[in-house]
A and B are shown apart, each in its own frame.
Chain A
Amino acid sequence: MKETDPRFVSLQKKVILFFAVAAIGIIGTLIFLGVERGAFTPKYRIHFTVEKGTGFFEGMPVKLSGFKIGKIETLSLDENARVKILLLLDKKYQKWIRQDSRAMLTKEGLIGEDVIDVTVGAQGKPVIEDGAVIPYEKSRGLDELVEEARPVIGEIKDIISYINDPDADIKQTLANLQMLSFELLITKENIDKLLKNTDVNITDVASSLSKVAKNIDSTVTDIDKTILKIEGKVSPAMDKLNKTMGNAEEATSSLKDAIEKSAPKLPRLLNKGEDALNETNEVVRSLKQVWPISSYIEEPKDSLLRGDSYE
């Protein structure tokens, strides 16, 4: 049967052409996507082992000097139940990753995503070959810093409660001191009285004075003893306090370092967030103007508070 309708003449060829073009388009797109995603870029693998796989995940980006150079390909347990982390990296960056390079699990800023950061190796060292091991260095995140600070806080708390404890040595020593000062006050009053009576009976005064002097002597001896006692009690507490303060200082400086590193990124992050919000607002505002959405949105107007007849 010969095709007589001019519209169907060579229709078969047209259909084949159509499918061919579509197939070429699909293949082209796949190739383009592959190139974009680096599917055709030469790759190589290196690995490291950690005690715990917490914080790592497949596909986690690996960065070198802030540039993404690869990702975690697989996480697996070895014979010793340690976690083997296999990194899939672009071959072109291999020249930077040398024997003294280190891999670290770190955060991009205070609130950034987790990444594996690889340090640049020294030029003189040999490059890490495909399948070789890269040393892993544990980096301290905020959580660790807080964990470190926790015992310090605990120690400070202990010292404060020790000082505040009414039955503790320090409180009792202070009470003793208070008593001694009271005794000193009485002694002073006695001296005042004696001085007033000096012109009446100088000899009595002299004898009384010697008594008072003895009193003072014994009181001073008591004070000495008490001070020595206090010293004995306070010194260890002070040592402990000094040590704790040292720890606290160390923890604070680590925390400060971490914050200083992340601080420059914060304004940028906030600006980005604000920009995104503004853009979203703009989109929403524009959408509100479009029919049929606009017909459901009431134009804002002043509302009048109605007085209640019962109030």
Chain B
Amino acid sequence: MSEKHDSRYTMQDTGYGIKKIVHRASCIMHRFCLLFVSCFLLFIGCGGPSAPTLPAIHAQAIEYNQNAAKAAEKGDYEKALDYYMEALRINQSVENTGGIAINLINLAVIYQKQGNISEAEKLIDMVFLIPDINDSMKAEAAFEKARIFLKEKELSKAKEWVNKSLALNKGIREGSRWNLLGRIALVEGNYSEALTAANTALKLNSVNKQKTEEANSMRLIAEIRALTDKFEESREAYMKALEIDKESGDSKKIAVDLKGLGDIFLKYGRLQDAVNFYIRAYTVSRTDEDMEGASKAAESLADAYRKSGDDKKAEEILKTKMPLDKKK
């Protein structure tokens, strides 16, 4: 009897334990459900449109602008021009002055890449006719104007417009303005002024993390050093420029750096080194389908062979250069 009583008591006790566990489990479940519902409501509350969406027409213009940028990056300038024109047309139809200015500048940049300087100049002049555009945009347009004047060898005007650009807005693009000033001074033959500008540009571009322009500063320094017979400094500067350009993956600039290195080695009579750099420059240009760059490298290579007394090889190289000139 006593045993029976004991066992019943134990069973009841176990039943009570199970009830307790079930109760605790249901409490945890309740809490979890509450937490889930609260989180859900919180997320729903935070959801919905984050910011007012762009009007469809602006979004369309931006889409054209971005497609143009992609085409330009691939080197398809004709397509880029078409897209920028369409973006410009849409922006003009709603008188979006900011969009108009951006697309005019972009078109001018593409025309310059194609060598159509007069068209580029017309477009940049139109930017200055737009009312209510900010100084940063005006500074960019002034910089483009200076680049155009430099291409036209109108050095004083080019300098005047770079200075205008600097006066309007400095910002992170200040280094590029100094680079351009340095290049103008180099063309003028004023090496010390060019070097000062290049060094200023180098500092600014390094601080502002403008890699392409930093490489441009290094290349400019290398060119000035080469012209002032500082072989080792020139070589070092070219090597740094090459390193940055390789990081950026800019084939045209890589080829220019390699050719520059070839030029200084040729100047100092290290013909085999010069040949090696020219061959590298030629290979980069050829694989990038930059016929102009490849032709220049081939010409320099032929020159190097001729100077080393191998006229036959020089002739062979010049023969391979001819079809490149046709394709330019």
User: Residues of A with Cβ closer than 8 Å to B?
Assistant: 1, 3, 7-8, 11-12, 15, 289-292, 294-295, 299-311
Question: B99-116 interface mask toward A, CB cutoff 8 Å, 1 = contact, 0 = none?
Answer: 100110110011011000
With A290-B47, A291-B43, A310-B183: A305-B253 Cβ-Cβ less than 8 Å? no
In the bound complex, residues from chain B placing their C-beta under 8 Å from that of A8 are 19, 23
Q: B274 in the interface, Cβ–Cβ < 8 Å?
A: no
Expressed in whole angstroms, the Cα–Cα distance for A309 and B202 within the complex equals 13
Expressed in whole angstroms, the Cα–Cα distance for A1 and B20 within the complex equals 14
In chain B, positions 156-194 with a C-beta closer than 8 Å to chain A are 173, 176-177, 179-180, 183
Expressed in whole angstroms, the Cα–Cα distance for A302 and B220 within the complex equals 31
With A295-B50, A300-B62, A304-B105: A310-B179 Cβ-Cβ less than 8 Å? yes
In the bound complex, residues from chain B placing their C-beta under 8 Å from that of A302 are 61-62, 65, 87, 98-99, 102-103
Q: Which residue on chain B has the smallest CB distance to residue A285? A: B53
Expressed in whole angstroms, the Cα–Cα distance for A307 and B16 within the complex equals 82
* Stretch in contact with the other chain, from B140-148, B295-303, B320-328: B140-148
With A290-B48, A304-B106: A11-B22 Cβ-Cβ less than 8 Å? yes
State which of A3, A15, A303, A308 has its C-beta within 8 Å of the C-beta of B212.
A308
In the bound complex, residues from chain A placing their C-beta under 8 Å from that of B173 are 306
Q: Which residue on chain B has the smallest CB distance to residue A14? A: B22
Q: B318 in the interface, Cβ–Cβ < 8 Å?
A: no
- Contact status A309-B69, CB under 8 Å: no
| Minimum-distance CB pairs A-B, first 7 | A294-B50, A309-B179, A291-B46, A305-B109, A310-B216, A305-B106, A309-B180
Q: How many A-B residue pairs have CB under 8 A?
A: 95
In chain B, positions 60-94 with a C-beta closer than 8 Å to chain A are 61-63, 65-66, 69, 72, 87
Expressed in whole angstroms, the Cα–Cα distance for A300 and B62 within the complex equals 7
- Contact status A311-B179, CB under 8 Å: no
In the bound complex, residues from chain B placing their C-beta under 8 Å from that of A309 are 147, 176-177, 179-180, 183, 201, 213, 216
- Contact status B54-A299, CB under 8 Å: yes
State which of A299, A308, A311 has its C-beta within 8 Å of the C-beta of B51.
A299
- Contact status A307-B23, CB under 8 Å: no
Q: Give 30 CB contacts A-B under 8 Å.
A: A3-B16, A8-B23, A12-B15, A12-B19, A289-B49, A294-B49, A294-B50, A295-B50, A299-B54, A300-B54, A300-B59, A302-B87, A303-B65, A303-B69, A304-B102, A304-B106, A305-B106, A306-B173, A306-B176, A307-B147, A307-B176, A309-B147, A309-B176, A309-B177, A309-B179, A309-B180, A310-B179, A310-B219, A310-B220, A311-B113
Q: Which residue on chain A has the smallest CB distance to residue B253? A: A310
Q: B38 in the interface, Cβ–Cβ < 8 Å?
A: no
Q: Which residue on chain A has the smallest CB distance to residue B148? A: A307
User: Residues of B with Cβ closer than 8 Å to A?
Assistant: 9, 12-13, 15-16, 19, 22-23, 43, 46-51, 54, 59, 61-63, 65-66, 69, 72, 87, 98-99, 102-103, 105-106, 109-110, 112-113, 140, 143-144, 147, 173, 176-177, 179-180, 183, 201, 212-213, 216, 219-220, 253, 256
In the bound complex, residues from chain A placing their C-beta under 8 Å from that of B256 are 310
- Contact status A300-B63, CB under 8 Å: yes
In the bound complex, residues from chain B placing their C-beta under 8 Å from that of A307 are 109, 112, 140, 143-144, 147, 176
In the bound complex, residues from chain B placing their C-beta under 8 Å from that of A292 are 46
Instruction: Determine how close the nearest CB of chain B comes to the CB of A302; give it in whole angstroms.
Output: 5
In the bound complex, residues from chain A placing their C-beta under 8 Å from that of B47 are 289-291
Instruction: Determine how close the nearest CB of chain B comes to the CB of A243; give it in whole angstroms.
Output: 48
Expressed in whole angstroms, the Cα–Cα distance for A301 and B96 within the complex equals 13
Instruction: Determine how close the nearest CB of chain B comes to the CB of A154; give it in whole angstroms.
Output: 39
In the bound complex, residues from chain B placing their C-beta under 8 Å from that of A290 are 47-48
Q: Which residue on chain A has the smallest CB distance to residue B72? A: A305
Expressed in whole angstroms, the Cα–Cα distance for A8 and B18 within the complex equals 11
In the bound complex, residues from chain A placing their C-beta under 8 Å from that of B12 are 1
In the bound complex, residues from chain B placing their C-beta under 8 Å from that of A299 are 51, 54
In the bound complex, residues from chain A placing their C-beta under 8 Å from that of B54 are 299-300
Expressed in whole angstroms, the Cα–Cα distance for A289 and B87 within the complex equals 25
State which of A7, A303, A310 has its C-beta within 8 Å of the C-beta of B23.
A7
In the bound complex, residues from chain A placing their C-beta under 8 Å from that of B213 are 308-309
- Contact status B62-A289, CB under 8 Å: no
In the bound complex, residues from chain B placing their C-beta under 8 Å from that of A300 are 54, 59, 62-63, 66
Instruction: Determine how close the nearest CB of chain B comes to the CB of A305; give it in whole angstroms.
Output: 4
Most chain B beta carbons < 10 A, residue from A294, A304, A307: A307
Most chain B beta carbons < 10 A, residue from A3, A301, A304: A304
In the bound complex, residues from chain B placing their C-beta under 8 Å from that of A11 are 19, 22-23
Instruction: Determine how close the nearest CB of chain B comes to the CB of A32; give it in whole angstroms.
Output: 26
Expressed in whole angstroms, the Cα–Cα distance for A310 and B98 within the complex equals 26
Expressed in whole angstroms, the Cα–Cα distance for A306 and B208 within the complex equals 15
In the bound complex, residues from chain B placing their C-beta under 8 Å from that of A301 are 62
Expressed in whole angstroms, the Cα–Cα distance for A302 and B102 within the complex equals 7
In the bound complex, residues from chain B placing their C-beta under 8 Å from that of A3 are 16, 19
Instruction: Determine how close the nearest CB of chain B comes to the CB of A281; give it in whole angstroms.
Output: 14
Q: Which residue on chain B has the smallest CB distance to residue A290? A: B47
Expressed in whole angstroms, the Cα–Cα distance for A156 and B87 within the complex equals 52
